[in-house]
Structure 1
Amino acid sequence: MLTSNLLAAATAPLQWSPTVGAIMIICNIIAIAFAKFKVTYPKTGPELPSSNFFGGFGLPGLLATTSFGHLLGVGVILGLHNLGNI
């Protein structure tokens, strides 16, 4: 019975589209901009070849901010899909 209730509550799968990609890119840019003002030591660890394109972060800072950006993007995309806007 629990399985049938879970299957009934499932939504239609979300297909990738350029809109979904644009939302993910925007969320990553927002995360980098947010971290640029909040991270105390952004240049620790190995440096990136063109770090000015990534907010002046080193490799660990870039990985951390883009991970946060992807979590933010997944939340926004699934939220918009659940509302029916995507």
Structure 2
Amino acid sequence: MFAPLLAVAPATITWSPKVALVMIVCNVIAIAIGKATIKQPNVGLQLPNSAMFGGMSHGAMLGTLSLGHILGIGTILGLASRGVV
């Protein structure tokens, strides 16, 4: 009964420039989403060159990049299952 479930394994892929590009694009999209939706993105400890990151604080940047990595993982696994990446 459980033998078919044991045979199912997620698609594993190797790191490549395509995978890196997908992750970078997902992080940029998440930064844009965060920049548009966070009410006070510059409250708290500032980044060293905050103008480069749109004036966002450490907390806002960590939050948006965490979302970007979650989006990136889903996108990479989805593209890998379709054979694109």
TM-score normalised by the chain length of structure 2: 0.90
Are 2:71 and 1:60 equivalent residues in the alignment? no
Q: Does the CA-based 8 Å contact 2:11-2:77 persist in structure 1?
A: no
Are 2:80 and 1:73 equivalent residues in the alignment? no
Aligned AA (1:15)? T
Aligned AA (2:23)? M
Tell me the CA shift for residue 53 of structure 1.
Answer: 1.7
Q: Secondary structure at the match of 1:13?
A: coil
TM-score normalised by the chain length of structure 1: 0.89
Residue correspondence of structure 1 range 1-86 to structure 2 within 5 A: 1-2=1-2, 4-86=3-85
Indicate the percent of aligned positions where both proteins have the same amino acid. Answer: 47
Q: Does the CA-based 8 Å contact 1:33-1:55 persist in structure 2?
A: no
RMSD: 1.3
Q: Does the CA-based 8 Å contact 2:42-2:57 persist in structure 1?
A: yes
Q: Does the CA-based 8 Å contact 1:32-1:55 persist in structure 2?
A: no
Measure, in 2, the Cα distance between the counterparts of 1:38 and 1:10: 37
Q: 1:33 to 1:15 in 2, by over 3 A?
A: same
Measure, in 1, the Cα distance between the counterparts of 2:61 and 2:81: 30
Unaligned runs of 5+ in 1: none
Tell me the CA shift for residue 10 of structure 1.
Answer: 1.7
The runs of at least 4 aligned residues of structure 1 exceeding 3 Å deviation read none
Instruction: Give the count of matched residue pairs.
Output: 85
